[in-house]
Copies of this chain bind each other. A is one copy, B any other.
Amino acid sequence: MFEDFREYSVAEFFKKNRHMLGFSGKVKSLTTIVHELVTNSLDACEEAGILPDIRVEIYSIADDKVKIVVSDNGPGIPKELIGKVYGKLLAGTKFHKYKQQRGQQGIGASGVTMYAKLTTGVPVHIISAYQGKMIIADVGIDINRNEPIVENIVETDTDIHGVIVEVVAGEVKVDKSEYSVYEYIRQTALANPHAQIELIVNGDRILYERQTTVTPPKPQETLPHILGIPPYEFLEMAKLSNNRTLRSFMIDSFDRVTSQKVKELEKLLPDIDFDKNPKELSWDEVDRILKVVKSIKWYPPRKDVLIPIGEANLQKSIEAIYKPEIIVTRTREPKIYRDGVPFVVEVGIAYGGSISSKVLRFANRVPLLFDSSACAITKAISEIEWNRYEIEDINTAPVLIVVHLASTFIPYVSAGKTAIAQEEDIISEIKLALMEAARSIKTHIHQKYRLYELSKKKEALLRYVDQLASDIASLSGEDRELIKNRLEEIIREKYSI
Q: Which residues on A are within 8 Å of B, measured CB to CB? A: 1-2, 4-10, 12-13, 16-17, 19-20, 24, 47-48, 63, 75, 77-78, 81, 84, 88, 90-93, 95-97, 105-107, 117-121, 170-171, 230-233, 235, 283, 291, 371, 373-374, 378-379, 409, 411-415, 419, 421-423
Contact B373 A6 (CB under 8 A): no
Contact A10 B13 (CB under 8 A): yes
Query: Which residue from chain B places its CB closest to the CB of A43 in the assembled complex?
Result: B1
Q: A151 → chain B, closest Cβ, in Å? A: 16
Query: Which residue from chain B places its CB closest to the CB of A119 in the assembled complex?
Result: B230
The listed residue (B78, B84, B90, B411) touching A10 by CB distance below 8 A is: B90
Cα distance A91–B13 in the bound complex, in angstroms: 10
Contact A20 B230 (CB under 8 A): no
Contact A5 B230 (CB under 8 A): no
Contact B7 A78 (CB under 8 A): no
Most buried by B among A88, A106, A378: A106
List residues of chain B with CB within 8 A of the CB of A2.
77-78, 81, 93
Contact B91 A7 (CB under 8 A): yes
Contact B96 A6 (CB under 8 A): yes
Cα distance A12–B79 in the bound complex, in angstroms: 26
Contact B121 A91 (CB under 8 A): no
Contact A8 B95 (CB under 8 A): yes
Q: A72 → chain B, closest Cβ, in Å? A: 14
Q: A228 → chain B, closest Cβ, in Å? A: 10
Cα distance A414–B118 in the bound complex, in angstroms: 21
List residues of chain B with CB within 8 A of the CB of A7.
84, 88, 90-91
Most buried by B among A47, A230, A283: A230
Most buried by B among A6, A105, A411: A6
Most buried by B among A5, A371, A415: A5
Contact A413 B20 (CB under 8 A): yes
Most buried by B among A107, A374, A378, A411: A374
Which 10 pairs from chain A and chain B are nearest by CB?
A374-B374, A414-B414, A118-B232, A7-B91, A121-B283, A10-B10, A118-B230, A4-B93, A373-B373, A1-B47
Cα distance A374–B414 in the bound complex, in angstroms: 11
Taking A118-B233, A121-B283 as given, write out 7 further A-B residue pairs in contact, using a Cβ cutoff of 8 Å, ordered by the A residue number: A8-B106, A19-B421, A118-B231, A373-B374, A373-B422, A374-B374, A413-B414
19 contacts between A and B (CB under 8 A): A1-B75, A4-B96, A5-B92, A5-B93, A6-B92, A8-B96, A8-B106, A9-B90, A10-B10, A13-B95, A16-B95, A17-B412, A20-B412, A20-B415, A63-B291, A119-B230, A120-B283, A373-B378, A374-B419
List residues of chain B with CB within 8 A of the CB of A63.
291
Q: Knowing A13-B95, A379-B373, A421-B24 are in contact, say whether A231-B4 is a contact too (CB < 8 A).
A: no
Query: Which residue from chain B places its CB closest to the CB of A78 in the assembled complex?
Result: B2
Contact B5 A413 (CB under 8 A): no
Cα distance A88–B13 in the bound complex, in angstroms: 14
Cα distance A372–B24 in the bound complex, in angstroms: 20
Contact B119 A232 (CB under 8 A): yes
Cα distance A390–B449 in the bound complex, in angstroms: 40
